[in-house]
């Protein structure tokens, strides 16, 4: 769902939630390089940021009065048929892992007349079907900005993007062309998390220009801000049926210090993070989801530090915690914390793995598209108590894989570089390839699903088969029913 029309934006998208009925918690640095994983610089000593104030009320619609009812048409007016969609209280969030524009992906995207869109075309139906779709943008997108964050001016900005021109680059200091954002928006992504260890790869100017580019593409960003800002408001979306607040932070940064305090740090600024979570709850969000960039790369178990942060977020009011950065999936667990006088249980997906990258190993080319169903408040006239209760009602995942196929005759090539002869596509690993790249059901053919299941457990089959088998139908086959959760 997007706040404003944009090229490729979907209208009339159908919530995946109509398919997701069960609570089925299942069971994922700093590098982001290709295999073998290169060592990354260890985080520098913590630099205390300037003092933060508590999060101010975010620019949400939560506090606004409800729209006025339309004027009555009188007792003899024809009564329109009730809109079943208006009765729905359930929305679905889809959360994807790291978008890492390695050199090979940038070369291909720049050489292909379709840009980066083919990367995501195989899962665009799934991304677009959710009510709100997020991914982690593990790069800056900062035209005319050099590798140490200097402005190269209007002349450089007017040049067509080219890889390695002093501006756009892959590992280890990422900067991707704006076409990447246009492709993500066109595929159905709504929100990009910009809090990660590569957020400052082009320093403060790069972070700010990334925000400009994200907004220009019709997307929202969360986790970074412009210099001079003094608060870290949550991103709040009031969707038809429920409102959702997103908070994003990173526990890692490859560039320190964060001289202008434009990046929200999970540990160094934990009071600001928890204040933002609490403020979002206080405003009445039906669910607060924390997206954290944390953990150890290529390790399939969460670190004690991840567990500690997750508990802090949950205690502050998070209803779900979702992580990225390890470039492999980590387990989904339910943790129980004390919040006020109550004991609450919160799902934590420690790592979703990569969404798209050029990392070739099975653990790094596979990832999870996490689906979270959020139920909003019942209408005032509904019998009490409402069932299901507002909050998170279901959670499951769809297995993803970055498919790398041999190039075909006619594939676009960059005549000035050695554009790779491979085709890259993100696919849902368990369904027949909708693009015909492989032409067969990829499930079980390469060990990708087996790997994901080993860490995440089994996907909820009451959710995933309809999605995987009929994903392309979702947008054309509206369902507004709200089955009771099991």
Supply the minimum distance, in Å, between the C-beta of residue 86 and Zn ion.
Answer: 41
Long-range contacts of 33-36 (CB under 8 A, 24+ apart): 33/102, 33/171, 33/172, 33/359, 34/102, 34/104, 34/171, 34/357, 34/358, 34/359, 34/360, 35/359, 35/360, 35/361, 35/364
Choose the stretch contacting Zn ion; rule: CB under 5 A; options: 169-177, 304-312, 323-331, 456-464. Answer: 323-331
Closer CB to Zn ion, residue 116 or residue 355? Answer: 355
Q: How many residues bind Zn ion (CB under 5 A)?
A: 3
Choose the stretch contacting Zn ion; rule: CB under 5 A; options: 149-157, 265-273, 322-330, 461-469. Answer: 322-330
Distance between CA atoms of residues 434 and 231, nearest Å? 44
Supply the minimum distance, in Å, between the C-beta of residue 252 and Zn ion.
Answer: 6
Please choose, from the candidates 352, 462, 476, the residue with its C-alpha nearest in 3D space to the C-alpha of residue 95.
352
Query: Any contact of residue 325 with Zn ion (CB under 5 A)?
Result: yes
Site for Zn ion in 186-205 (CB under 5 A): 196-197
Closer CB to Zn ion, residue 92 or residue 196? Answer: 196
Supply the minimum distance, in Å, between the C-beta of residue 196 and Zn ion.
Answer: 5
DSSP H helices in 130-244:
153-158, 179-187, 203-216
Supply the minimum distance, in Å, between the C-beta of residue 301 and Zn ion.
Answer: 17
Supply the minimum distance, in Å, between the C-beta of residue 43 and Zn ion.
Answer: 12
H or E element in which residue 425 lies: strand 422-428
Choose the stretch contacting Zn ion; rule: CB under 5 A; options: 318-326, 344-352, 440-448, 469-477. Answer: 318-326
292 with 262: CB under 8 angstroms?
A: no
Minimal CB distance to Zn ion: which residue? 325
Query: Any contact of residue 102 with Zn ion (CB under 5 A)?
Result: no
Distance between CA atoms of residues 425 and 109, nearest Å? 12
Closer CB to Zn ion, residue 325 or residue 425? Answer: 325
Supply the minimum distance, in Å, between the C-beta of residue 232 and Zn ion.
Answer: 20
Residues 148-187, mask of contacts with Zn ion (x by CB under 5 A) = ----------------------------------------
Please choose, from the candidates 275, 342, 349, 264, the residue with its C-alpha nearest in 3D space to the C-alpha of residue 312.
275
Choose the stretch contacting Zn ion; rule: CB under 5 A; options: 206-214, 317-325, 421-429, 436-444. Answer: 317-325
Closer CB to Zn ion, residue 328 or residue 427? Answer: 328
Closer CB to Zn ion, residue 196 or residue 274? Answer: 196
Phi, psi of 235 (to 5 degrees): -90, 115
Q: Count of H helices and E strands in the chain?
A: 11, 14
Residue 6 CA neighbour count, 13 Å, CB half = 22
Closer CB to Zn ion, residue 21 or residue 300? Answer: 300
Supply the minimum distance, in Å, between the C-beta of residue 360 and Zn ion.
Answer: 18
Distance between CA atoms of residues 474 and 130, nearest Å? 10
Supply the minimum distance, in Å, between the C-beta of residue 378 and Zn ion.
Answer: 40
Closer CB to Zn ion, residue 16 or residue 31? Answer: 31
Site for Zn ion in 339-358 (CB under 5 A): none
Instruction: Provide the sign of the torsion angle of the four alpha carbons 324, 326, 328, 330, taken in this order.
Output: negative
475 with 390: CB under 8 angstroms?
A: no
Closer CB to Zn ion, residue 92 or residue 197? Answer: 197
Closer CB to Zn ion, residue 194 or residue 197? Answer: 197
Query: Any contact of residue 359 with Zn ion (CB under 5 A)?
Result: no
Choose the stretch contacting Zn ion; rule: CB under 5 A; options: 325-333, 389-397, 440-448, 451-459. Answer: 325-333
Distance between CA atoms of residues 296 and 390, nearest Å? 34
Edge-to-edge strand ranges of the sheet holding 329-339: 235-239, 242-250, 287-293, 320-324, 342-352, 329-339
Distance between CA atoms of residues 133 and 135, nearest Å? 7
Residues 239-268, mask of contacts with Zn ion (x by CB under 5 A) = ------------------------------
Closer CB to Zn ion, residue 168 or residue 294? Answer: 294
Closer CB to Zn ion, residue 140 or residue 197? Answer: 197
Supply the minimum distance, in Å, between the C-beta of residue 28 and Zn ion.
Answer: 13
Supply the minimum distance, in Å, between the C-beta of residue 478 and Zn ion.
Answer: 37
Closer CB to Zn ion, residue 18 or residue 365? Answer: 365
**Could you give the C-alpha distances from 414 to 107, 161, 170, in angstroms and in order?**
7, 12, 17
Distance between CA atoms of residues 406 and 423, nearest Å? 6
Supply the minimum distance, in Å, between the C-beta of residue 30 and Zn ion.
Answer: 6
First to last CA, the chain: 27
Positions touching Zn ion (CB under 5 A) are 196-197, 325
């Amino acid at each position: 769902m997007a706040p404003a029309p944009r090229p490729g934006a979907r209208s009339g998208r159908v919530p995946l939630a109509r398919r997701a009925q069960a609570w089925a918690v299942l069971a994922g640095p700093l590098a982001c390089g290709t295999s073998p994983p290169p060592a990354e610089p260890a985080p520098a000593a913590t630099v205390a940021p300037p003092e933060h104030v508590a999060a101010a009320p975010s620019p949400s619609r939560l506090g606004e009065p409800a729209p006025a009812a339309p004027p009555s048409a009188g007792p003899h007016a024809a009564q329109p048929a009730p809109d079943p969609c208006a009765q729905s209280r359930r929305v679905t969030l889809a959360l994807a892992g790291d978008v890492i524009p390695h050199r090979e992906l940038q070369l291909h995207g720049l050489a292909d007349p379709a840009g980066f869109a083919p990367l995501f075309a195989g899962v665009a139906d799934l991304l677009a079907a959710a009510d709100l779709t997020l991914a982690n943008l593990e790069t800056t997108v900062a035209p005319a900005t050099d590798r140490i964050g200097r402005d190269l001016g209007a002349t450089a900005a007017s040049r067509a993007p080219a890889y390695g021109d002093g501006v756009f680059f892959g590992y280890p200091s990422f900067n991707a062309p704006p076409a990447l954002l246009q492709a993500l928006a066109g595929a159905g992504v709504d929100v990009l998390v910009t809090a990660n260890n590569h957020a400052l790869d082009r320093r403060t100017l790069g972070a700010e220009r990334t925000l400009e580019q994200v907004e220009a593409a019709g997307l929202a960003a969360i986790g970074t801000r412009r210099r001079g800002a003094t608060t870290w408001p949550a991103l709040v979306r009031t969707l038809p049926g429920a409102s959702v607040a997103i908070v994003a932070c990173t526990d890692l940064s490859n560039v320190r210090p964060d001289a202008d305090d434009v990046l929200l740090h999970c540990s160094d600024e934990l009071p600001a993070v928890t204040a933002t979570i609490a403020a979002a709850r206080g405003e009445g969000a039906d669910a607060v989801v924390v997206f954290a960039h944390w953990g150890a790369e290529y390790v399939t178990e969460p670190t004690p530090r991840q567990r500690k942060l997750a508990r802090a977020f949950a205690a502050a009011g998070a209803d779900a915690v979702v992580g990225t950065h390890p470039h492999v999936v980590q387990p989904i667990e339910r943790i129980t914390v004390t919040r006020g006088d109550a004991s609450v249980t919160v799902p934590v997906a420690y790592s979703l793995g990569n969404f798209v990258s050029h990392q070739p190993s099975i653990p790094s080319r596979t990832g999870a598209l996490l689906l979270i169903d959020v139920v909003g408040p019942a209408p005032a006239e509904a019998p009490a108590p409402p069932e299901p209760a507002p909050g998170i009602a279901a959670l499951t995942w769809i297995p993803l894989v970055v498919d790398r196929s041999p190039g075909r005759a006619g594939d676009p090539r960059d005549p000035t570089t050695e554009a790779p002869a491979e085709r890259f596509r993100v696919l849902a690993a368990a369904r027949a390839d909708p693009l015909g790249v492989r032409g067969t059901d990829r499930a079980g053919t390469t060990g990708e699903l087996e790997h994901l299941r080993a860490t995440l457990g089994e996907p909820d089959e009451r959710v995933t088969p309809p999605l995987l088998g009929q994903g392309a139908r979702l947008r054309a086959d509206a369902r507004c029913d709200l089955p009771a959760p099991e």
